[in-house]
Structure 1
Amino acid sequence: MNRKLRFGMIGGGRGAFIGGVHRIAAQLDNQAELVAGAFSSDAERSRVSGEDFFLDPKRVYASYEEMARVEAAMPADRRLDFVVIVTPNHQHFGPAKLFLESGFNVVCDKPVTFDLAQAKQLQAIVRKSKKVFMLTHTYTGNAMVKQARALVAAGKLGKIRKVVVEYPQGWLATRLEASDQKQAAWRTDPKRSGAAGAIGDIGTHAANLAAYVTGLKISELCADLTAFVPGRKLDDDGAILLRFHGGAKGILHASQICVGEENNLSLRVYGEKAGLEWKQEHPNELVVKYPDKPAETWRRGNSYVGDEAKGATRIPGGHPEGYFEAFANIYREAFRAIAAEVAGKKAPANLDFPTIDDGVEGMQFIEATVLSSKRGARWVKFPAVT
């Protein structure tokens, strides 16, 4: 294409954290520009958010339904190429369905929908529409996560035996939702978050990261979920045992009541020949461990890393890259597919971004985890059969 992609945003207006992240990431490579939005369910908030972003007032909408109707009627040289959905979980399905059926590509925050039934319905809509659907599992965009994946795929670790993935946070160690903290309020509300709290919010990230790096699929799981904070309706802590197809076993821990922790996502993978460790708070490093020689610390930006990591590296070694760059990397991959779709061409080979299928797996993970815990931490098949 000889122009930037045009996108609109649903949610993410004034005061929203994740909306700003998406706007920065989507525009970091100068391949896309924000031209429209329904930035809030409150029409006035949407309007002033459009002013913040210096948008044409005629393309700032009071609702996503109005946005879909007006934008679909735009001439080809003005209409949107894709939309970005950055609302709470219960408000994902409606706009995703409408915009896909109106002929637009879609980028959506995770988890993909409110429940598994919606996710499966949306999966069918995506396939029928033949549009691009990208889910923002951010951490798969990190260069050294891609290096870890390449090492596993090349057999450098040997057959995988053990996977340990942890995502502790501490920001919900008190009943923050009782204050005016909107991020806490919707994440702890079953009417907006869905069946799970911490497991839905960050446990899905942990499960997706483990699957992305190892290529392993869960066969069974055993979960113990707890709401430690009095009065909280959804889990704020979870411990899950995993069994994978092929014989590997794993442990997944996700918690938002670990006092003092910030965003300490980490992954350890152990095979017959070697192990590796990656930590989100130190994303530029990958530690590779051996039984008969010292551990190696691989660093992003060096000549010895593989092509996958090099392709996700933006600046020379020693200059730290992290969250925004990882986000931008998955956007950049999605743009390859969206640009091809807009041009009526076949999608490029070897695309590397999370899709609706990852979204369905995430909802299956939530469902199975909640079911196992309700049954007294009993093993359940994955996907769960209720």
Structure 2
Amino acid sequence: MIGGAPGAFMGDVHRRALALSGQFSLVAGCLSRHPQQALAAGRALGLAPERTYADWAQMARAEAARPDGIALAIIVTPNDTHLPVAAAFLAAGIPVLCEKPLALTLEQAQHFASRFTAKANDMVMAYTYSGYAMVREARRLVQAGALGAIRNIQVEYLQDWLGNADSNGGWRLDPQTGGAGGCLGDIGTHAFHLAEFVSGLQCQSLSARVSRLVPGRAVPDDAQLQLRFSHAAIGSLWVSQVATGCGNGLRLRLYGEKAGLEWKQEQPDTLALSTMDGRTTHTARGGSAVLTPSFLPRGHPEGYLEAFARLYSDTARLLGGLDAPLLPRLAAGVRGLGFVEAALQSGARDGAWTMLRT
């Protein structure tokens, strides 16, 4: 693991998820950009001293040279170091699982992708919500034609933890470390990926209103977008980290010719499928009608950690030479930056329709 010292939210989440998957164990790390903190964090996690590194470039070289070197590098650093760290490990022949966004800019992501075209399948992006069992079931239903042709896609991701001027957003609110996209890069890319992942459609252009609702912010904290997808589908996306009263309100609604479908992250174990005759069917994870495998039986809630663990289980399949078609790869990371760039450009031009570049 690179970054994610004990107490860091994403580092702790990844360690719990990889353990839950039963496929990985943490054996090496450069857990902080500060050398002494990195060494102390390694000791705290029980890593062997010779595999506790103060420099991630040294770690990549050393682990690649070991006969028992790591099988996967997990990147949970601030956004500005995602690309250089990933490049070091991919160049050393070590697959990578990286937090999003892939880079600070689309240009950086495109250059990286062109450099590592041959290793594109060795780069997994941590789009967590694609790991939820009922998100994958929703995708299966769409592909099976349960909704008919998709007409409209509505997705929102609402939080409130940055709702005050004195909220501690740390590096996420600094465009030099978090990127110029602010909430668009931090959680908007999740909503964007979810919409494309479940619908099977690609967003082609968008019109955005991008705002800094808390005065003094250097990056956006709220954005509302209209979307145009392939196959003549339309939609909208609202992302906010200043939506008072919202914890982690990710919601997806799809409307097709035959039915509509809804999934909510805060109630992740059920899907609602509604038809024009007034019937709504609620399908529970783990039931006999759900083909997507579960970690736990029906009635035992699964959530965020299980979704992450499912990504790790798929990654283990990938490393074992098996197919893992639902894993988000390098191309998904590039599309996320294409979304952020188009939204910022459209917002700067008063909502002008803007094509996505990837």
- TM-score bracket, shorter-length normalisation: over 0.9
Aligned-pair CA distance for 1:350: 4.9
Structure 1 position 89 matched with structure 2 position 79: yes
CA distance in 2, matches of 1:232, 1:365: 21
Aligned-pair CA distance for 1:130: 6.4
Structure 1 position 104 matched with structure 2 position 105: no
CA distance in 1, matches of 2:328, 2:50: 33
Aligned-pair CA distance for 1:338: 1.4
CA distance in 2, matches of 1:71, 1:133: 17
Q: 2:330 aligns with which of 356, 362, 380?
A: 356
CA distance in 2, matches of 1:150, 1:115: 32
Letter in 2 for 1:10: I
Aligned to 1:4: none
CA distance in 2, matches of 1:131, 1:213: 20
How many residues are treated as equivalent by the alignment?
Answer: 358
Structure 1 position 33 matched with structure 2 position 25: yes
- Give RMSD over aligned pairs: 1.3
CA distance in 2, matches of 1:72, 1:39: 18
Structure 1 position 51 matched with structure 2 position 43: yes
Letter in 2 for 1:121: H
Partner secondary structure for residue 165 of structure 1: strand
Letter in 1 for 2:258: K
8 A Cα contact 2:317 2:323, kept in partner: no
CA distance in 1, matches of 2:70, 2:111: 24
Aligned-pair CA distance for 1:327: 0.5
Moved more, 200-209 or 128-137: 128-137
Partner secondary structure for residue 231 of structure 2: coil
Q: 1:372 aligns with which of 325, 336, 346?
A: 346
1:212-291 matched pairs, under 5 angstroms: 212-291=197-276
Aligned-pair CA distance for 1:118: 1.8
Structure 1 position 175 matched with structure 2 position 165: yes
**Percent identity between the two aligned chains:** 42
Partner secondary structure for residue 147 of structure 1: helix
Aligned-pair CA distance for 1:125: 3.4
Give CA deviations for 1:215-263 in whole Å, capped at 9, x if unaligned.
1111210000000111101000000000111111001000011111000
Aligned-pair CA distance for 1:291: 0.4
8 A Cα contact 1:264 1:279, kept in partner: yes
Letter in 1 for 2:295: R
CA distance in 2, matches of 1:239, 1:222: 9
Aligned-pair CA distance for 1:361: 0.3
8 A Cα contact 1:103 1:131, kept in partner: no
Structure 1 position 383 matched with structure 2 position 357: yes
8 A Cα contact 1:218 1:243, kept in partner: yes
Q: 2:109 aligns with which of 119, 124, 127?
A: 119
Give CA deviations for 1:117-146 in whole Å, capped at 9, x if unaligned.
221122233323466111000001111111
8 A Cα contact 1:101 1:125, kept in partner: no
Structure 1 position 60 matched with structure 2 position 34: no
**Runs (5+) with no aligned partner, structure 2:** none
CA distance in 2, matches of 1:244, 1:69: 43
Structure 2 length normalisation: TM-score?
Answer: 0.97
Structure 1 length normalisation: TM-score?
Answer: 0.90
Aligned-pair CA distance for 1:30: 1.9
CA distance in 2, matches of 1:222, 1:129: 33
Letter in 2 for 1:220: S
Structure 1 position 211 matched with structure 2 position 187: no
Letter in 1 for 2:130: T
Aligned to 1:336: 317
Partner secondary structure for residue 38 of structure 1: coil
Aligned to 1:13: 5
8 A Cα contact 1:195 1:367, kept in partner: no
Aligned to 2:122: 132
CA distance in 2, matches of 1:223, 1:24: 37
Structure 1 position 202 matched with structure 2 position 179: no
